[in-house]
Amino acid sequence: MPISSSIFALAQGINFIDTAEMYSVPPNAESYGKTETYVGTWLKRQARDKIVLATKISGPGRGMKWIRGGDLAFNRKNIRAALEASLKRLQTDYVDLYQLHWPDRNTPIFGQYHFDPGNERDYVPVVETLAALAELVKEGRVRCIGLSNETPWGLMQFLQQAEQHKLPRVVSVQNAYSLLNRTWEMGLAEIGFRENVALLAYSPLAFGLLSGKYLADPKAGGRLTLFQGFAQRYSKVNVQPAVAAYADVARRHGMTLAQMALAFVASRGFVASTIIGATTMEQLREDIAGCSGVLTDEVLQEIEALHLRYYNPAP
């Protein structure tokens, strides 16, 4: 997107930028770190104290041998090495939020939904990971810490260990959340409320499905059609019927599906930020407008009825 897109976004009050060492997506050795590099080139021309910058360290279990030779456990050595490399690419001396991109341990993520004890592996104890992050916070290179793609058990472990050992508490969890995936509400919402941990909602448009473009053209250009690796979460049996049903609600109430989907996510009290992405200025304008939209009680009631009919079709 042209530089005018960032100027427009900043003018609309957008100040939270989220990236990761692994990006861009889909991950490979050639693209590793490039998104941070691009963000850093842009960031050095901005007033740093006006930007809330977040990035993530990649974890084990995803076969990414090109990152630190495949040694991705969340231990002190790897955490420090990852942050130092990210800071260099981002051309800054600190990040506001440093996140663990996915758990070190065995747990179902990215479209998996069955916990399989047969996949157990060694993992770094939570207290050891927190102690390493605490050093970076003390040094001023990390302001706050967060999790991503995390479960209720994992979040409680981090909170309990932080309290027990007087280490930094996580302030946020970045999980998928959309009309097609409201699993946050099934356990994490209560923890977040009682422990003051916010949701950073990614994929609010479910990889473009909730833009509605695939209803008109199942082969429309986008990550779902270009990169088959994303099909696991979004090819489940009730996904397409749910998208069509939500699209009908939006149409009848004079909205695009994207506007309704984004307004719903942004309206949830537990959501601290709705993470959007756009390829064109037109998409960016619609995304920003959607996040500030207001849904009527009637629309919300229809959404809840559909949620019960198509219960989390893309967990």
d(C-alpha 96, C-alpha 49), whole Å:
10
The size of the chain, in residues, is: 315
Give the residue from 194, 197, 215, 196 showing the smallest Cα distance to 206: 215
For residue 120, is it left (φ>0), alpha (ψ between -120 and 50) or beta? beta
Domains along the chain with CATH numbers: 3-176 (3.20.20.100)
d(C-alpha 241, C-alpha 215), whole Å:
10
Model confidence, pTM = 0.96
d(C-alpha 142, C-alpha 206), whole Å:
30
**3-class state of residue 179 by DSSP:** coil
pLDDT digit string (tens) for 64-92? Answer: 999 999 999 999 999 999 999 999 999 99
Tokens read off for 214: 């695939």
Answer whether 234's CB lies under 8 Å from 177's CB.
Answer: no
d(C-alpha 169, C-alpha 133), whole Å:
10
Helix (H) or strand (E) segment spanning residue 134: helix 126-138
Q: What is the per-residue pLDDT for 168?
A: 98
**3-class state of residue 173 by DSSP:** strand
What share of the chain has pLDDT > 70, as a percent?
98
Residues taking part in catalysis = 23
Is a pLDDT exceeding 60 seen at residue 1?
A: no
Handedness of CA 279, 247, 310, 204 (dihedral sign): positive
Instruction: Look up residue 66 and give its amino acid.
Output: W
Give the residue from 163, 304, 149, 128 showing the smallest Cα distance to 233: 149
Q: Which residue has the tokens 């004890």?
A: 117
| Residue 303: band (very low, low, confident or very high) from pLDDT cuts 50, 70, 90 | very high
